[in-house]
Chains A and B, each alone.
Chain A
Amino acid sequence: MNPDIDAILNHLREALPDAAIELRRNPGPAEQHSLLVEAASLPDVCRFLHDELHFDYLSNVTGIDWPDPAKAEAVALADNENETKEETEESPPKPGFLEVVYHLYSHRDRVGPLVLRVRTLDRGENVEIPSVVSIYRSAEFQEREIYDLFGVRFTGHPDLRRILMWDEFVDHPMRKDYVAPDDFEYEPTPHDAVLERAKEHYPS
């Protein structure tokens, strides 16, 4: 059962008035609305949700790469649409970012998923997000995986290193601009993108 997200937002705003939290509506039929939390406030928000509102089970941590922030906004609609329209007319194009989405459930109250979103500042150097491992142990491997595949650095993680790829690997493969390495020497039935790569190996 989806939680009452407006009530939760009110509790959070009362308890943590300095934390920057916004409600984002999910336009699709699933109606799993989310709370966009600023990276610096994430540990406090999680601590409050865990201790006071009994969201004791972190089910899933997903990393998403948004090179185009407009698409991210379309998936998680801000309430104040007029503001965003003004912004697009005047301000320069915003950089893309990496997003981490958390799904929280409550064992005691049997509600969920409460969706939290946290965004990095850009896709280059400023990719740090505080780790929630000290509050939710289940994030340990999942944060390592997001570091490995997307490049988000979780500050405060006890053991942040690659988990699925080998340690000498340099790229972050799940990013949208990742180019797969060249092992297209033998492609018997290529088409589309694979055909382009295979053509480089054809005898001239």
Chain B
Amino acid sequence: MIAPSSISNPTLEGTDDDQLLRVSLGPQHPSTHGVFRMNVVLDGETIVSLKPVFGYLHRNHEKIAECGPYLHSMPYTDRLDYICPLTNNWAYALSVEKLAGIEVPERAEYMRVILGELTRLINHTSFMGFILGDMGAWGSALMYAFREREKILDLFEHLTGARMMANFMRFGGCRYDLPEGWIGQVSTIIDDYGPFLDEMEQLLIGNEILLARTQDVGQLPAEKLINGGVTGPMLRAAGISYDIRKVEPYGIYDRFDFRIPLGEKGDCYDRIMIRFLEMRESLKILRQAIDGLPEGDFIHPKAKLRNFKPPVGEAYGRIEGPKGELGFHLVSNGTTDPYRFRVRAPSFINLTLLEDMCLGLDLADVVIILGSIDIVLGEVDR
């Protein structure tokens, strides 16, 4: 199939070794989105080889999860992908519910969808700000992005008490019920979000620098992407229709009417624009979820919080997170602590093909390509 040895061969036969420049980009670098390091070998400005180096934020989520009960890992999942904490919570709660066979009441499912789609909005908005910063528009687009993000963080703070690390999902539902007036606030913010997206698109779509730097940069054929385990907006930008919300609907996603935007070429421009389209679909889902929110329990009445012992077995649960497929593989041996807690992080797997995307391009393109993959080091290193 695809032979990686020819690309990743570190001895670089057949090249004039004296002329090559070895540069280590990172781990402290303005455009590496965190402590990410790339050992790059350059021939002039062209990339000859690129080896990512991870581990600078390896915080041992998996080992710490084995030391305590299932619930104690819930706040740690916030810190995995720290730009979208609530979807991490949801993925973990979903996996434990699969492991233990717990059902979730309807109101809780609607609450989860609302919070999940709000998280998708803040993730894609922050992405837009960061990638424009990578292109050189340092600060301007990020100001707009974070202005909108702050509005949604205020909502989270009103509901959960924390701006970022919400720790809101529980096994069987959510932590507590929505306060009065919260849904009205969400409704107002969604109404204003559409015009904000129009404004940003208008600024970006015709921008010469954006078009020149992102079009036809970082493409790969579709089979290579599937084989490399790529998921999320990166895969859909190449035209492959695979969104877990449609393929394997979790929660109540099969009740909502929304489309999956697909790109054409899979270059960086497609990856940026597809996220705008996804944000608009998220607004549609949010509107439907708010209109259809039923009364009821916010958590299963028989859900156990203390002394929770799922039956012996294992489960792999996954959701369509804003960055790709976020999955948790849990192995239980009948005790209160998980035997094995494995995080399948989308950013980590999406980076497998980073070298393939960058070979033959300039160093400046590497920054754009890395930005368009949308990585978060908390997830990559766990």
Q: Which of B54, B226, B311 contacts A27 (CB 8 A)?
A: B311
Q: Answer yes or no: A115 CB below 8 A from chain B CBs.
A: yes
Verify B329–A62 contact, CB threshold 8 A: yes
Tally the A-B contacts, defined by beta carbons under 8 Å.
Answer: 136
A→B interface (CB under 8 Å): 1, 26-30, 32, 50, 56-60, 62, 64, 71, 74-76, 101, 103, 107, 110, 112-113, 115, 133-142, 158-159, 162-166, 173-174
CB distance from A62 to the nearest CB of B (A): 4
B→A interface (CB under 8 Å): 1-5, 8-10, 54-55, 58, 60, 62-63, 98-101, 223-224, 226-230, 240, 242, 247-248, 310-316, 318, 325, 327, 329, 331-334, 339-340, 342, 344, 348-349, 351-353, 381
- Give the chain B neighbours of A164 by CB distance below 8 A: 54-55, 58, 381
Q: Contacts A28-B101, A64-B340 known; A141 to B352 CB distance under 8 Å?
A: yes
Verify A27–B329 contact, CB threshold 8 A: no
Q: Contacts A62-B329, A142-B349 known; A30 to B227 CB distance under 8 Å?
A: no
Verify A173–B63 contact, CB threshold 8 A: yes
Q: Contacts A138-B352, A140-B4 known; A30 to B99 CB distance under 8 Å?
A: yes
Verify A74–B340 contact, CB threshold 8 A: no
Q: Complex formed: what's the CA distance from A17 to B339 in Å?
A: 34
Q: Which of B313, B339, B340 contacts A26 (CB 8 A)?
A: B313
Closest chain B residue to A115, Cβ basis:
B316
CB distance from B241 to the nearest CB of A (A): 9
Q: Contacts A28-B332, A30-B99, A60-B342 known; A107 to B313 CB distance under 8 Å?
A: no
Q: Complex formed: what's the CA distance from A71 to B333 in Å?
A: 7
Find the residue from A60, A107, A115, A133 having the highest chain B CB count within 10 A.
Answer: A60
Q: Complex formed: what's the CA distance from A29 to B332 in Å?
A: 12
Verify B226–A57 contact, CB threshold 8 A: yes
13 sampled A-B residue pairs with Cβ under 8 A: A26-B313, A28-B314, A29-B98, A75-B312, A101-B314, A107-B240, A110-B247, A134-B4, A135-B1, A137-B229, A138-B349, A165-B55, A173-B63
- Give the chain A neighbours of B318 by CB distance below 8 A: 59
Verify A137–B344 contact, CB threshold 8 A: no
Verify A29–B1 contact, CB threshold 8 A: no
Verify B329–A101 contact, CB threshold 8 A: yes
CB distance from B319 to the nearest CB of A (A): 13
Verify B4–A29 contact, CB threshold 8 A: no
Q: Which of B3, B58, B313 contacts A28 (CB 8 A)?
A: B313
CB distance from B130 to the nearest CB of A (A): 23
Q: Is the interface of A mostly helix, strand, loop or mixed?
A: loop
Closest chain B residue to A76, Cβ basis:
B314
Besides A32-B314, A133-B4, A142-B349, 7 more A-B contacts (Cβ < 8 Å) are A62-B340, A101-B314, A103-B344, A113-B316, A134-B2, A136-B229, A137-B224
- Give the chain A neighbours of B9 by CB distance below 8 A: 158
Verify A57–B229 contact, CB threshold 8 A: yes
- Give the chain A neighbours of B62 by CB distance below 8 A: 174
- Give the chain A neighbours of B10 by CB distance below 8 A: 159
Q: Complex formed: what's the CA distance from A188 to B223 in Å?
A: 54
Q: Contacts A28-B315, A107-B242 known; A138 to B229 CB distance under 8 Å?
A: yes
Closest chain A residue to B240, Cβ basis:
A107
Q: Complex formed: what's the CA distance from A198 to B342 in Å?
A: 29
Verify A29–B313 contact, CB threshold 8 A: yes
Q: Contacts A57-B229, A137-B228 known; A26 to B314 CB distance under 8 Å?
A: yes
Closest chain A residue to B58, Cβ basis:
A164
Verify A103–B1 contact, CB threshold 8 A: no
Q: 5 tightest CB-CB pairs across the interface, nearest first? A: A28-B313, A138-B229, A29-B101, A30-B315, A164-B55
Q: Complex formed: what's the CA distance from A59 to B342 in Å?
A: 12
Q: Complex formed: what's the CA distance from A50 to B2 in Å?
A: 13
Q: Complex formed: what's the CA distance from A30 to B329 in Å?
A: 11
CB distance from A178 to the nearest CB of B (A): 8
- Give the chain A neighbours of B339 by CB distance below 8 A: 64, 71, 75
Q: Which of A74, A103, A107, A133 contacts B333 (CB 8 A)?
A: A74
Q: Contacts A59-B318, A64-B331 known; A138 to B101 CB distance under 8 Å?
A: no
Verify B342–A140 contact, CB threshold 8 A: no
Closest chain B residue to A144, Cβ basis:
B54
Closest chain A residue to B381, Cβ basis:
A164
Verify A75–B313 contact, CB threshold 8 A: yes
- Give the chain B neighbours of A59 by CB distance below 8 A: 229, 318, 325, 327, 344
- Give the chain B neighbours of A135 by CB distance below 8 A: 1
CB distance from A46 to the nearest CB of B (A): 10
Q: Complex formed: what's the CA distance from A141 to B382 in Å?
A: 14
Verify A134–B3 contact, CB threshold 8 A: yes
CB distance from B97 to the nearest CB of A (A): 9
Closest chain B residue to A136, Cβ basis:
B227
- Give the chain B neighbours of A58 by CB distance below 8 A: 229
Q: Complex formed: what's the CA distance from A133 to B2 in Å?
A: 9
CB distance from A33 to the nearest CB of B (A): 10
- Give the chain A neighbours of B226 by CB distance below 8 A: 56-57, 107
- Give the chain A neighbours of B98 by CB distance below 8 A: 29-30
CB distance from B310 to the nearest CB of A (A): 7
